[in-house]
Chain A
Amino acid sequence: MTRQFLRRLAALLPVALGVVTLTFALIHLVPGDPVSAMLGDYAAPADVAQMRHDLKLDLPLWKQYGGFLAALAHGDLGQSISQREPVALLIREHYPATLELAGAGLAVAIMIALPLGIIAGADAGGPGDIAAMGFAILGISVPHIYLGPLLMILFSLDLGWLPLTGRGGFAHLVLPAVTMGTALAAILARMLRQSLVRIGSADYIRTARSKGLSERAALLRHGLRNALTPVITLIGLEAGGLLTGSIVTEMIFSWPGLGRLLMTAINNRDYPLVQGCVLTFALSYVVVNLITDLFYRAVDPRIRLG
């Protein structure tokens, strides 16, 4: 187990390297460059050339890539072109906010999905199922970009219960977390229900039922564990997605997170900052998945780590 865990940990390296390389290739491939984005309308060609030289953007791509990797190996993410601050500092400023938001979103999703999925799964075809799945479908059909303002109008403008935007205490976290978590809750609840229904017809549940347990009790006591396996896979997948997909929620709720930083960086073609942000996202994503795999193993010990 420990050896496998270490092996997985070592596998982070190639993934991070792959992501960084892909990012480097794509960001240099797309039109637009940081110097003209930064110098603006009235830049003289000589200044553009000078700045490209100063930023080492006039070197061949492979040399730039080599330089970037060499710096990275020393733990240096470089200097942001547009914001003139070390990339590492900017990431340190923005990352906790994104982590907080994604964590809260995931918590909300799980808190909604577990009861909903169990109600629906235990009562497949019944009114509970229809109600729970109706909610799930509503949840998946309403995009963040619409749900966010809707929640704001209801809970902040009309009821005055919660603050509109910004990062602060618990109250500030509720609306963005619900906005982020609802769609995921719908997916998870749906998956849990499906899983429970499928397992309901499995042999050992039938056996348990024949031993005198009521159908629901049999399902919940014996089936839930197996039903959770695909749900946890999905949580792992989507938790990574929550991190990288936080951008819309961050925009709506004026949340000073990494998603917005990356968006601005891409807009300004701020190469070092883009690479730094993507690397952070990628590492978080891989770590989340590693945790999921460990979780997975705890639920279903027969599964070996991949």
Chain B
Amino acid sequence: MAHGNRESADIVTWAKAIAYAAIVCLFALSGCAKPAPLASPGYLQIDLPTAPTAIDPRVTADAISSRVAELIYDSLVRIDRTGAFAGDLAESFERPTPTEMVFHLRRNVRFSDGRPFTARDVKFTYESILDPATLSIKRAGLVELAAVTIVDDYTLTMTTRRPFAPALALATIGIVPRDSSIPGKAASPAPPGTGPFRLARFARDEAVILARNPYHQSLANAVPGLALKVVPDPTVRALELSEGICGFAENDALQAELLPYLAAQPHLRIVRSPGSTYHYLVFNFRDVRLRDLRVRRAIAYAIDRDTIVASMIRGNARVATGVLAPENWAYDGNVTQYPYDPAMARGLLEAAGYSAHARPLRLTYMTTPEGLRLAEVIQAMLRRVGIKIDIHTNEWATFYSDLRNGNFDIASSQWVGIGDPHQYYEIFDSHMTPAAGGNNRGDYSNPRMDQLVEAGDATIDPVVRCAIYRDVQRLSAADLPYVSLWWDDNVAAFDRRLTGFEPYPNGSLLSLAAAVFPTENRLVRTAP
């Protein structure tokens, strides 16, 4: 093989060529990148941990999508701070009979494209959801709805199939203008709404840009728009807040452990308020051991929730007594409590004849760093009283499939945004088993509970209803189908100059519509 001078020159050329190709490649790529800024100046950037999948309120399913949709679309009624229903597009409403609701609509409301809002838009929205072609997740929630009837342009009635106390929940769906196309079949990702904002841009997995709805009244100096940016990494969200790129983040977007870091930033404010997200452990009654109340009580006594809340959640939660948070109109905290008491737990286990050598119980958790830490702590606490735990941790879809099918011994999960106590029917009525597609995931069955939660749904009078749910809360705390863990606090971190933000127990961002955020002399460090 000859390696003459000509060839050796080639080799040097080769090395150079590769290096040049690399450089050219880099520049070419950066050249074709679109440098368009995400939003106009003055917009408030809000970091979201996950991307909204849809904006159209007829199909939004996940919490983040609903949170965003709520800023664009009004509904007939809304859930207020206490979990009760308050008028929104409906100025007022009444329930003349147990199966009938009459809504009196606000006048002079316009969609962001200028069209006036009338009862026909409401009827259209509901018919569109019920149309099988829409493939709407919300159709199942409307199973109790018998009819939507237009009385006149500004009066509307809804009738239910049976006397159904929480029927007003049916009226919490965002309203779109009549003749909006089926979601996914339209050119635009979402129809106009009557809310304070309109969708300016939907860059999937990147950002949702909301501009003001020109037909919606707002303060002259209120934020001109919101840039909801998807930032999946918790550390990066904290960095964006501390650099002043992001002006606001809350709850899921903030990791408890990073709050001290954020609190140390002089330009940031941290606001805590009571929240309603409920964390619990659910027992599977198909397991003989867990069917024994003494074993369930032992587990409740063995978990030191005060210490977990204080040290791991850094005090950003309240130890829970039940599904309903204290702010709820139906809340009753006068129930059996389970303070940390390992001796009591051991006694109960002994009485139940629980063998320390039995097959370990499976504790099923969804894999998140926080979830795993909590699982490990609970595992250690239960080991201390003689219960062996195997932690099963899976990514979301597998976890959810196991949870829905009742495929666990003990599972940890949470309920988000619980308003009406009707939830108790969904999770504890013996007819709502996984086999029936319900959320009584542990197959809990108690005739007394069935009787109570069914009565609660059929009773319209709020005072009588409240008394029924007092009994439900007492019974569930004594019977322990769930071990209540804690209610998360609502935590928001934002730029100090942002004023007008009002926290809601369910984490709603709606108050930002009236918030003021001065754009001049911002603390933001300008990146090149």
Contact = CB atoms under 8 A, between A and B. Distances in A.
Whether A and B touch directly in their complex, counting CB atoms under 8 A apart, is answered as: yes
Interface of A: 30-33, 36-45, 47-48, 50-51, 54, 79, 82-85, 90, 93-94, 96, 99-100, 103-104, 106-108, 110-111, 114, 118, 148-149, 152-153, 156-157, 160-173, 177, 204, 208, 220-222, 224-225, 228, 251-254, 256, 260-261, 264, 266-269, 299
Given A32-B400, A224-B15, 9 more contacts: A31-B402, A33-B401, A47-B139, A83-B204, A84-B54, A104-B25, A164-B236, A164-B243, A164-B527
Contact of A177 (B7, B26, B203, B231): B26
Contact of B1 (A110, A204, A260): A204
A252 B10 CA distance: 41
A204 B3 contact: yes
B29 A173 contact: yes
B447 interface: no
Most buried by A among B54, B135, B229: B135
A156 B527 CA distance: 8
25 contacts: A36-B404, A38-B61, A39-B61, A40-B61, A41-B426, A41-B439, A42-B141, A96-B32, A100-B32, A100-B33, A148-B236, A149-B233, A152-B236, A156-B527, A157-B243, A161-B527, A162-B528, A173-B30, A220-B11, A221-B11, A228-B15, A256-B204, A266-B397, A267-B397, A299-B14
B22 A106 contact: yes
Contact of A114 (B19, B34, B206, B236): B19
B118 interface: no
B525 A160 contact: yes
A264 B436 contact: no
B134 to A, nearest CB: 10
Given A42-B426, A268-B397, A160 B439 contact: no
A107 B27 CA distance: 10
A254 B230 contact: yes
B235 interface: yes
Most buried by B among A31, A45, A148: A31
B25 A103 contact: yes
Interface of B: 1, 3, 7-8, 10-12, 14-15, 18-19, 22-23, 25-27, 29-30, 32-38, 51, 53-54, 59, 61, 132, 135, 137, 139-141, 143, 183-184, 203-206, 229-233, 235-236, 239-240, 242-243, 245, 395-398, 400-402, 404, 426, 436-437, 439, 525, 527-528
A79 B185 CA distance: 11
B419 to A, nearest CB: 14
B135 A54 contact: yes
Nearest to A112: B22
Contact of A107 (B11, B25, B139): B25
B140 A114 contact: no
Nearest to B24: A107
Contacts of B184: 79, 84-85
A218 to B, nearest CB: 9
Going nearest first, the 10 A-B pairs with the smallest beta carbon separation are A84-B184, A32-B397, A170-B30, A45-B437, A221-B8, A256-B206, A107-B26, A169-B35, A32-B401, A107-B22
B233 A254 contact: yes
Main secondary structure, interface of A, reads helix
A107 B400 CA distance: 41
Contacts of B8: 221-222
A38 B397 CA distance: 10
A204 B3 CA distance: 8
Nearest to B232: A251
Nearest to A163: B527
Contact of A54 (B19, B132, B140): B132
B265 to A, nearest CB: 11
Contacts of B30: 104, 169-170, 173
A30 B22 CA distance: 40
Contacts of B7: 225
B184 to A, nearest CB: 3
B233 A168 contact: no
Most buried by B among A170, A173, A266: A170
A158 to B, nearest CB: 10
A161 B528 contact: yes
Contacts of A253: 236
Contacts of B398: 30-32
B119 to A, nearest CB: 27
B135 A51 contact: yes
B18 A110 contact: yes
A164 B141 contact: no
Contacts of A163: 527-528
Contact of A111 (B19, B395, B527): B19
